[in-house]
């Protein structure tokens, strides 16, 4: 995703817990639930690309749980790239690669990378524009091998509706900072997925 500085504090709450290491309480909370879903779909062996890896907590957590898979984190924010590297060095695992400096919403990034068995996006779509979402899905489809998975986690509208008071408040705070971002509708996402020859599970 592009490096956006103009976001509300609620969009990305992190604290510094080392010289370069960042910690997100929400990433720590949601990791076990995401892992539970991933365990149903990840192959026994192969390569996983995580787009916009944030602090690096997720890639460390998942790589430790799925030790036969090769994990490739990526990020555009320099401070978070440093944090990801700190988590990787702490984990000291052969199955996590050093992070790629990658804007997942830029055109043609898939041409520069290998193909992957799984691509994961966690809490990205509400922080990018519709145009950027379309590009991210298209490029991801090109970077996937046949019979692979594109996993999307995050807050969404359901049939054009925000489903809780928290969602309404958070979506409003996002579009007040940048009218191009905010919650995406699940039907719009599914349309783009199917337009790129991917099929919802």
The pLDDT assigned to 9 comes to: 66
The pLDDT assigned to 53 comes to: 97
The pLDDT assigned to 19 comes to: 84
3-state secondary structure of 1: coil
The pLDDT assigned to 18 comes to: 82
Q: Which residues, 6 or more positions from 28, have their beta carbon under 8 angstroms from its beta carbon?
A: 57
76-87 confidence digits (pLDDT tens)? 999 999 999 999
- The dihedral built from the CA positions of residue 188, 193, 196 and 200, taken in this order, carries a sign that is negative
3-state secondary structure of 29: helix
The pLDDT assigned to 2 comes to: 61
The pLDDT assigned to 124 comes to: 94
The pLDDT assigned to 94 comes to: 95
Gap between the Cα atoms of 143 and 188, Å rounded: 21
- φ/ψ of residue 185, rounded to 5: -80, 135
Q: Which residues, 6 or more positions from 183, have their beta carbon under 8 angstroms from its beta carbon?
A: 126, 155, 156, 157, 162, 167, 170, 171, 174
b/e 63-92 (16+ beta carbons within 10 angstroms → b) = beebeebbbbbbbbbeebbbbbbbbbeebe
The pLDDT assigned to 14 comes to: 82
Pairing of strands 15-16, 69-75: unpaired
The pLDDT assigned to 17 comes to: 85
Gap between the Cα atoms of 10 and 173, Å rounded: 8
Q: Encoding tokens for residue 101?
A: 């400096």
Gap between the Cα atoms of 153 and 14, Å rounded: 19
The pLDDT assigned to 16 comes to: 86
The pLDDT assigned to 186 comes to: 95
Task: Tell me which residues of the chain have a pLDDT lower than 50.
Answer: none
DSSP state of 19: S
């Amino acid at each position: 995703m592009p490096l956006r500085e103009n976001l509300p504090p609620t969009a990305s709450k992190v604290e510094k817990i080392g010289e370069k290491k960042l910690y997100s309480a929400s990433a720590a909370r949601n990791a076990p639930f995401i892992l539970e879903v991933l365990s149903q779909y990840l192959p026994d062996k192969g390569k996983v690309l995580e787009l916009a890896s944030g602090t690096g907590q997720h890639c460390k957590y998942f790589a430790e749980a799925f030790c036969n898979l090769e994990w490739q984190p990526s990020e555009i924010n320099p401070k978070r790239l440093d944090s990801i590297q700190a988590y990787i060095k702490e984990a000291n695992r052969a199955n996590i690669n050093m992070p790629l400096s990658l804007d997942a919403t830029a055109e043609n990034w898939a041409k520069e990378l290998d193909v992957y068995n799984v691509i994961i996006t966690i809490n990205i779509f509400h922080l990018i524009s519709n145009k950027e979402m379309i590009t991210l899905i298209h490029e991801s489809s090109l970077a996937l091998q046949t019979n692979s998975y594109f996993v999307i986690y995050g807050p969404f509208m359901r049939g054009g509706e925000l489903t809780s008071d928290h969602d309404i408040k958070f979506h409003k705070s996002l579009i007040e900072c940048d009218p191009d971002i905010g919650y995406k509708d699940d039907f719009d996402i599914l349309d783009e997925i199917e337009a790129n020859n991917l099929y919802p599970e």
